[in-house]
Amino acid sequence: MRFAVMILGTSLALTGCNGADAPAATPPETKPAAAALDTRRPSASAAPIAFATDSTVTSVQGTLAADNDAEFVIGEEKGTLLLVQVVAPSQDPKLTIHRADTGANLPDEHPNNVAHWIERLPDTVGYLIVVHKTGTATPFVLNLEKPRALFFDDRTLTAEVKLTVPANAVVSFVAPPSASIQADLVAAPKDAYITLDGLDDGKALLSAEANKRSFSGALADEVILRVHQDATAGDVTLRAQRTK
């Protein structure tokens, strides 16, 4: 549904005591409220999204109709770091995130990439994800990720995580900037592997094609470290050590 908003300004001509016309008063400048213009609540067609148990990554595939947006809703807790990205074969569609309760738009710190959104969620509520129409039928993949913090011991600067990962699941963690880091999948099913990407720029530091269980290198910024389980469920131990 589209709404047209028209603002009319009024100019008043004043006459002074000597009969001369006074200069017309200039009405105060009216600026549209950006937050109001960006307000959007879920429609009846919004599809729910949920992460599988013990997984921090999920994806949705679909096709945008030429003149319709695609809407999705997800419920998460306050403080959750949420990464959302939409990918299309030609040009990636625009992506916006809104609070489902108030409809307020939630911009992130990466305004130059309209198809990529990263931010910590402000409250424990539902959130609306909008993939905006492009004018033509557009197949797309919507990727969502909520990496866990990787906590390092203050004395040893070592972090170790043990967990059971379902078959083909991906579990991701955020590691802080470090002078260097050594990350190892010390226990996992034989075909499991790890990947590392820059959090802000998405730059691949260790790609899936490398099929590695360890990484050593410098980290200027925060990174996402992902554990990719193989086709069988099993226990995984991830160990990382950093230098400041």
User: Nearest CA to 230 among 175, 168, 182?
Assistant: 168
How far is residue 97's CA from residue 84's CA, in Å, rounded to a whole number? 9
- Return the CATH class of domain 148-243: mainly beta
Same fold, 47-145 and 148-243: yes
- 71 pLDDT above the threshold of 50: yes
How far is residue 146's CA from residue 222's CA, in Å, rounded to a whole number? 14
Q: Give the pLDDT band of residue 233 (cuts 50, 70, 90).
A: very high
- 28 pLDDT above the threshold of 90: no
pTM listed for this prediction? 0.73
How far is residue 129's CA from residue 132's CA, in Å, rounded to a whole number? 10
Query: At 107, phi and psi to the nearest 5?
Result: -70, 155
Tell me the domain boundaries of the chain.
47-145, 148-243
- 22 pLDDT above the threshold of 80: no
How far is residue 127's CA from residue 145's CA, in Å, rounded to a whole number? 14
Question: Using one digit for the tens of pLDDT, what is the confidence trace for 144-191?
Answer: 999 999 999 999 999 999 999 989 989 999 998 889 999 999 999 999
CATH topology classification for 47-145: Jelly Rolls (2.60.120)
Strands, E assignment, the chain: 47-48, 57-64, 70-76, 81-87, 95-99, 116-120, 125-131, 138-145, 148-149, 158-165, 170-175, 178-187, 193-198, 204-206, 214-219, 223-228, 234-243
